[in-house]
């Protein structure tokens, strides 16, 4: 597999991340926010967006994976638990990409079980075409077509996460 068309360059990504952060700042004002990033795909997005947030922020991560090669397996493994307590807190889940919806549906239920004060979801990319579970998403950066994307944290078999842009993956 090789890198195909660039969908979003680093400048466009930063502009979108700033726009999302602006909305989040407006919505939460001075309320303390617990950001829960889903690893590994969201590590760069989380690192970038938190630097534009103005309220007091706590950052935590959960590790999970639902992808084998480029097809969603529908089976999600959760590798580590949250370090921060969720109960009563304003929680924002931050994810790289929403595709079938299985991942966020499961994570959302798990976090709701821990009784947060509020829960919202922010995704950098939404790929609505293959949605199988409806997931309420509050902040969306880009809507993408049904292509497999890599870069800016997203991977193909653990590769390409380091690309500063988001590109389409294609066969050689
Ligand atoms: P879902 O459970 O099908 O919604 O899948 C969401 C997860 O699959 C995301 O956290 C991504 O890590 C991964 N994923 C979905 N689409 C892509 C893609 O186009 N490129 C890389 N990873 C993807
Ligand atoms: Mg992911």
Note the pLDDT tens digit of each residue in 71-111: 555 566 665 578 779 999 999 999 999 999 999 998 999 89
**Sign of the Cα pseudo-torsion (133, 33, 38, 1, in order):** positive
Domain membership of residue 122 (yes or no) is yes
Question: Which residues have C-beta atoms less than 6 Å from ligand 1?
Answer: 38, 41, 66-67, 72, 95-103, 127, 148-150, 154
- Domain range enclosing 53: 32-147
* pTM listed for this prediction: 0.94
Domain membership of residue 19 (yes or no) is no
Domain count for the chain, please give it: 1
CA of 61 to the centre of ligand 1 (A): 17
Note the pLDDT tens digit of each residue in 2-33: 999 999 999 999 999 999 999 999 999 999 99
Domain membership of residue 154 (yes or no) is no
Domain membership of residue 85 (yes or no) is yes
Domain membership of residue 10 (yes or no) is no
**Sign of the Cα pseudo-torsion (55, 162, 152, 155, in order):** negative
CATH number at residue 101: 3.40.50.2020
């Amino acid at each position: 597999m090789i890198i195909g068309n660039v969908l979003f360059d680093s400048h466009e990504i930063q502009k979108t991340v700033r726009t999302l952060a602006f909305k989040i700042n407006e919505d939460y004002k001075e309320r303390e926010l617990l950001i829960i990033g889903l690893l590994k795909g969201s590590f760069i997005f989380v690192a970038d967006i938190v630097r534009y947030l103005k309220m007091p922020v706590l950052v935590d991560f959960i590790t999970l994976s639902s992808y084998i090669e480029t097809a969603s397996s529908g089976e999600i493994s959760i590798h580590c638990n949250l370090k921060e307590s969720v109960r009563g807190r304003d929680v924002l889940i931050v994810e790289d990409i929403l595709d079938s919806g299985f991942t966020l549906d499961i994570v959302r239920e798990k976090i709701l079980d821990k009784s947060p004060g509020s829960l919202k979801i922010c995704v950098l990319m939404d790929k609505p075409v293959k949605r199988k579970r409806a997931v309420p998403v509050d902040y969306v950066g880009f809507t993408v077509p049904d292509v497999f994307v890599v870069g800016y944290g997203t991977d193909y078999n653990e590769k390409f996460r380091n690309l500063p842009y988001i590109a389409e993956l294609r066969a050689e």
